[in-house]
Amino acid sequence: MTLNSDDPALMGIDLTHEFEVARNELDFSDDDFRTVTRNALAASFLPEKVKEEARRTHFQWLDEAIPA
């Protein structure tokens, strides 16, 4: 599973909204967000080299420990 927004300009819903709904209405945890974000990055059509760079540049939080 991934979290995505479909045509934000038309629907008026952006990815931040989707994450807020997942946390507030579906009780997503930080681990859940890490999982769906890893899935989204893996499923993207980007070349592997670009995915690796995007992960290093924008998604370091995927590998951060969750405070107890």
Domain positions in the chain: 8-63
Mean pLDDT of 9-38: 91
CB-CB contact of 5 with 11 (8 Å): yes
- pTM here is 0.76
Confidence band, pLDDT 50/70/90 cuts, at residue 66: low
Residue 68 pLDDT more than 60? Answer: no
Expressed in angstroms, the distance from the first to the final Cα of the chain is: 26
Q: What is the pLDDT of residue 65?
A: 66
